[in-house]
């Protein structure tokens, strides 16, 4: 393989979950694209880097100062997420809330404390008309710890704080559920 193809393969491998074989396919497809397609690809990368910044209210990605959701949606519920990509996932559901992006989770191991997250900014938003804060961090140790930490700060203000339910996935097979998930689903079983 030529050096320039090898280099491009290595670059594609920096994308999330891209292994050698996938990176090879991407590199070969770059070689076969038309000049126009390449130009549009390169300019899309450049544009994202130049235009995308954080919304001054919620911290989501935006091309303007205040993002589309913050400027157009009225909701007295704020869903707190770790990263902007989590908003994309939640927006695929029916719930239409406001959001707040922490840009990370608490992680003593990586030296990330509350000051590194956008927690102060969240607290400042609670003086308005907020009835509930849904904490939608991942169901892992760091996500849980972050949720607990934030809940402790918000609850004294008399605002309802909730957390995503944890249990077995819809359409999944109990036989293949991992032990921790199944334990959690049993502990938090609901009355029929």
| Binding positions for a copy of itself, rule: CB under 8 A | 1-5, 7-8, 10-11, 14-17, 24-31, 33, 35, 37-38, 40-42, 44-52, 61-63, 67-68, 83-85, 88
Residue (67 or 78) nearer to a copy of itself, CB? 67
CB of 9: closest distance to a copy of itself in angstroms? 9
| SS3 per-residue string spanning the chain | CCHHHHHHHHHHCCCCCCCHHHHHHHHHHHHHCCHHHHHHHHHHHHHHHHHCEECCCCCCEECCCCCHHHHHCCCCEEEEECCHHHHHHHHCCCCCCEEEECCCCCECCCCECHHHCCHHHHHHHCCCCCCEEEECCCCCHHHHHHHHHHHHHHHHHCCEEEECCCCCCCCCCHHHCCHHHHHHHHHCCCCC
Residue (63 or 76) nearer to a copy of itself, CB? 63
Residue (69 or 150) nearer to a copy of itself, CB? 69
CB of 55: closest distance to a copy of itself in angstroms? 10
Residue (3 or 187) nearer to a copy of itself, CB? 3
CB of 185: closest distance to a copy of itself in angstroms? 25
CB of 59: closest distance to a copy of itself in angstroms? 13
């Amino acid at each position: 393989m030529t050096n320039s193809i090898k280099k491009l393969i290595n670059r594609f491998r920096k994308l999330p979950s891209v292994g050698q074989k996938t990176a090879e396919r991407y590199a070969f497809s770059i070689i076969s694209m038309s000049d126009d397609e390449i130009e549009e690809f390169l300019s899309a990368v450049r544009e994202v880097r130049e235009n995308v910044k954080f919304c001054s209210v919620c911290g989501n990605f935006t091309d303007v100062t205040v993002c589309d959701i913050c400027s157009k949606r009225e909701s007295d519920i704020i869903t707190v997420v770790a990263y902007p990509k989590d908003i994309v996932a939640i927006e695929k559901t029916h719930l239409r809330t406001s959001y707040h992006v922490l840009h990370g989770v608490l992680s003593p191991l990586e030296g990330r404390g509350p000051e590194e997250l956008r927690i102060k900014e969240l607290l400042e938003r609670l003086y308005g008309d907020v009835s509930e804060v849904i904490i939608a961090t991942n169901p892992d140790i760091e996500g849980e710890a972050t949720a607990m930490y934030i809940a402790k700060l918000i609850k004294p203000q008399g605002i309802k704080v909730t957390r995503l339910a944890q249990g077995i996935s819809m359409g999944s097979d109990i036989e293949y559920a991992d032990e921790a998930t199944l334990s959690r689903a049993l502990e938090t079983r609901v009355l029929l």
